[in-house]
Amino acid sequence: MNADLHWDHLRAAITPIIGDAQMGRWFQRVTPVMADEGVLELHLESRFSLDKIGNRFKDVLQSEARKLGIDSIQLRLASVPPAEVTTEVRQLSLGVPAVPEESEESSLTIAGATATAPGSAVAKPLDGMLPPRPDGLRRDHTLDRFVVGRANRLAFSAALEVLRTPGVSFNPLFLHGGCGLGKTHLLQAITRQFFIQGERRMRYLPAEHFVHQFIGALQQKTLPQFRKIFRELRVLAIDDIQAFAGKPRSQQELLETVDAIAQRGGQVLLACDVPPRKLDRLHQQLKNRFSAGLVALVDPPDLETRISILRQEVVRGGVHVPEEVIHHIAGEVRNSSRELLGVLVRVVAECELSNSVVSLPRAKAILDPIAITLQRRITIDIIVERIGRRWGVPPEEIVSRSKTRNTAMARNVATYLARILTDHSLFEIGEKMGGRSHSTVSSAYRKIQKMISTDPELRDEIEKTMKDLRG
């Protein structure tokens, strides 16, 4: 079995554990390589990603890998020569400090050696050189592999127009939609196509990388170099724009960067979970700038598109999957292209591991246990809104940093219900609850669980809320 197939199986196994959002954030730019028999290396584009994955997900990766017959998982930087692999792997277990983040109050924390370490994600772009190839792009995120349907036709048509007349028609082009619907795929595909067309002054990066590089430039006193590199780009693509929330200095830098590129006739491409008007803790001037171009929604794919996505993946993977199985999976998994492909990989992998052929009865047996989870319509946003109404706390306050007694209680109850009524991971719930850690989520859950056992009034209130949410 090759590295890509091993990684497909492993990715399908860990996704239900850590959630789609965390998979999209940390694992979409991974290159799998088989180092030795039974040893799978995951090559990462930045030290920041390596540190985060190593600190947060190493145990999950190792445990699920063993179940799949993979002896060992090693993480390393794509740019690190083989002789240095052991050093990188050893650092994972020591807990390398993360790159500091801009605080809510806009103060700048200048702590952590990672920000200024040679070869770090912060220092790398400040050498005045543009990459000879598009960095951070998945090799399968191309225009020809993007399946077009009613749900994404506007976004795709806009992408083609931007490629034809960059900096003219839709600037910026702002893609938004739920997790796993293809925003990142399309954003990377456009960026790659610009490169194919001969453009070299271009860059794709997640929003948090822009923030970290900006902070690094402030720390290293290399802000003029940072601005020269970014503001003279012909194409700038930034993913996960919501990561700028609550970071006013980074927002101002982004605003000035976008304006500078646009004034030079360059093209700006952006992607986000929500439209600009719904971006919390983002300056209104920046929202206005995002809305000045074209805001294109990417909706969940319809049945026809889902079938096409599965067919394309089956052909690409060179596996035999009966048409009836494709139709069954497409009918059951409706919310996300990523979920759709994850289920397909899971069905194929489990059949392969059990030495059985892929058939409709076998697919149903594999899919039925997770079908209920996939079809749930209760979201964290709905839970927060409902709890806010019953507790008399505005939803925006529940996900804020407020520590008033009533707000904290409403937040803990919402966290408890999100853990019970949704299939979101602790990481995802924490993100929705104002960027809290998975340990905070776990603590809130345990706290309410304990209170329910001794407080009948609270238990009744929560039960009523659950019935209300379930309809």
Residue 146 lies in a domain: yes
* Count of domains for the chain: 4
Q: What own/partner pairs with CB < 8 Å and gap ≥ 24 does 249-253 have?
A: 249/102, 249/106, 249/108, 249/214, 250/102, 250/210, 250/211, 250/214, 250/215, 251/282, 251/283, 251/286, 252/283, 253/214
Residue 164 lies in a domain: yes
Section 69-97 average pLDDT: 50
| Whether pLDDT at 329 is above 50 | yes
Q: What pLDDT digit, counting tens, does each position of 435-460 carry?
A: 888 788 888 988 998 898 888 888 88
Q: Which residues pair with 280 in a beta bridge?
A: none
| Whether pLDDT at 1 is above 60 | no
**pLDDT tier at 205 (50, 70, 90 boundaries)?**
very high
Which two structure tokens, joined as six digits, stand for 275? Answer: 């439209």
- Please say which residue of 297, 331, 357 terminates a domain: 297
Same domain, yes or no, for 270 and 362? no
Same domain, yes or no, for 355 and 428? no
- pLDDT at 372 (0 to 100): 53
Residue 343: in which H helix or E strand, if any? Answer: helix 337-353
Give the domain CATH number at 448.
1.10.1750.10
Same domain, yes or no, for 204 and 290? yes
Residue 102 lies in a domain: no
Same domain, yes or no, for 280 and 330? no
Residue 175 lies in a domain: yes
Which stretches of 288-447 are assigned E, i.e. beta strand? 294-297
- Please say which residue of 264, 297, 330 terminates a domain: 297
Same domain, yes or no, for 127 and 264? yes
Low-confidence winner among 50-59, 266-275, 295-304 (lowest mean pLDDT): 50-59
Residue 456: in which H helix or E strand, if any? Answer: helix 456-470
Residue 64 lies in a domain: yes
Low-confidence winner among 16-30, 93-107, 143-157 (lowest mean pLDDT): 93-107
Helix axes 3-18, 337-353, angle to 10 degrees: 120
Give the domain CATH number at 84.
3.30.300.180
Same domain, yes or no, for 134 and 243? yes
Same domain, yes or no, for 465 and 404? yes
Tell me which residue of 263, 239, 251, 270 sits closest to 162, measured CA to CA: 270
Same domain, yes or no, for 260 and 131? yes
**SS3 category, 271:** strand
Owning domain of residue 359: 316-375
Section 61-84 average pLDDT: 72
- Most confident segment among 90-99, 317-326, 343-352, 372-381: 317-326
Report whether 24 contacts 54 (CB < 8 A).
no
Percent share of the chain, pLDDT over 70: 84
Which two structure tokens, joined as six digits, stand for 274? Answer: 């929500």
Residue bearing tokens 């394309």: 312
Give the domain CATH number at 327.
1.10.8.60
Q: Which residue has the higher pLDDT, 374 or 228?
A: 228
101: amino acid identity, one letter? E
Q: Could you tell me the strand order of the sheet in which 267-272 lies? A: 202-206, 235-239, 267-272, 173-176, 294-297
Same domain, yes or no, for 392 and 444? yes
Same domain, yes or no, for 200 and 62? no
Residue 303 lies in a domain: no
Residue 332 lies in a domain: yes
Cα 191 from Cα 29, distance rounded (Å): 15
Same domain, yes or no, for 271 and 411? no
Residue 369 lies in a domain: yes
pLDDT, mean over the chain:
80
| Whether pLDDT at 373 is above 80 | no
- pLDDT at 175 (0 to 100): 96
Q: Which residue has the higher pLDDT, 106 or 467?
A: 467
- pLDDT at 120 (0 to 100): 33
Q: What pLDDT digit, counting tens, does each position of 389-420 carry?
A: 888 888 889 999 888 988 999 999 999 998 87
Give the domain CATH number at 291.
3.40.50.300
**SS3 category, 338:** helix
Same domain, yes or no, for 9 and 129? no
Write the burial class of residue 401 (CB in 10 Å: 0-12 exposed, 13-18 middle, 19+ buried): exposed
Q: What's the chain's Rg over C-alpha atoms?
A: 23
